[in-house]
Amino acid sequence: MITALWRPLRLALAMLTTLPVPQPTAPDPDEVGRAPLTYPLVGLLLGTLLIGASWGLFDLPPLAGAAIVLALWTLLTGALHLDGLADCADGLLGGHADATRRRAIMRDPHVGSAAVVALVLVMIGKFAGLAAALDHGKLLPLLLAPVLGRGGVLALMCALPYSSPGGMAEAITARLPRQTGWLVVAVVAGLSLIVAPGALLLAALLVCLIGRGALHRLGGASGDVYGAAIELIETAVLLAMALPSGT
């Protein structure tokens, strides 16, 4: 049982983080497909690391502590999801391009003004949320935001077709056991409902909006959409929960 969980988790950690996790030279395709089932566990690990770092920063001014935690957060994920957010901003916020043109824009390595604005707003949002959380001594948002972000991506993977042929996540979504995926999403939702129902509702709303937008504008989801979803859900949950009345 532990081995069956560890191998997909090891792949998920390599996909979503910069943690030094040893990888097999030729991973089993079925294990690759099961890796998204462990995405919420990756979020749990990241959140635990962020909380551990925050405990040593309470003596600092909240703004200084928030800057350090945000830098650590970005380093742990290698800015991978921020890259997806930037690509989505350029491709999806364009005027009247069709789905094929939008996908081409998202594959373009150049960064447009929409990408810059989206990145700045998300980083400011995360910084503000972290500063408020540290100022009020709230650490649960640092744990729940990464979990709900990656749980939301699993929901998108289960619900939407993959829209980017040849993309990095195509092989993953093709072998994803969707029934089990929905079960994992339900477990994450149930636990979140107990500790933070407002945050769960906000995350679910964002998943629906992102999924609807991706389906309408791209014909489905892609790796960039998954990355953007993580960043947007994390930021929204962090801000909502860090407020004095946040749940």
What pLDDT was estimated at residue 131?
A: 94
Chain-centre distance for alpha carbon 124: 17
Distance between CA 13 and CA 1 in Å, rounded?
18
Which range, of 2-6, 176-180, 200-204, averages the lowest pLDDT?
Answer: 2-6
Of residues 18 and 101, more confidence is placed in: 18
Nearest to 43 by CA among 130, 150, 133: 150
To the nearest whole percent, how much of the chain has pLDDT over 90? 62
Mean pLDDT of 96-103: 70
Question: Tens of pLDDT along 181-193?
Answer: 999 999 999 999 9
The mean pLDDT of 11-27, rounded to a whole number, is 85
Q: Which 3-state string (H, E, C) describes the chain?
A: CHHHHHHHHHHHHHHHCCCCCCCCCCCCHHHHHHHHHHHHHHHHHHHHHHHHHHHCCCCCCHHHHHHHHHHHHHHHHCCHHHHHHHHHHHHHCCCCCCHHHHHHHHHCCCCCHHHHHHHHHHHHHHHHHHHHHHHCCCCHHHHHHHHHHHHHHHHHHHHCCECCCCCCCHHHHHCCCHHHHHHHHHHHHHHHHHHCHHHHHHHHHHHHHHHHHHHHHHCCECHHHHHHHHHHHHHHHHHHHHCCCCC
Helix axes 113-135, 80-92, angle to 10 degrees: 130
Confidence class of residue 31 from pLDDT cuts 50, 70 and 90? Answer: confident
Residue 137's pLDDT band (cuts 50, 70, 90): confident
Question: Per-residue pLDDT averaged across 91-113, rounded?
Answer: 72
pLDDT at 188: 97
What are the Cα distances from residue 103, in Å, to 39, 44, 53, 216, 222? 25, 31, 38, 13, 9
Average pLDDT value over all residues in the chain: 89
Q: What pLDDT does residue 146 have?
A: 97
More confident residue, 246 or 107: 107
Q: Which pLDDT does position 32 carry in this prediction?
A: 87
pTM of the model: 0.92
pLDDT band of residue 217 (cuts 50, 70, 90) is confident
Over residues 130-154, the mean pLDDT reads 94
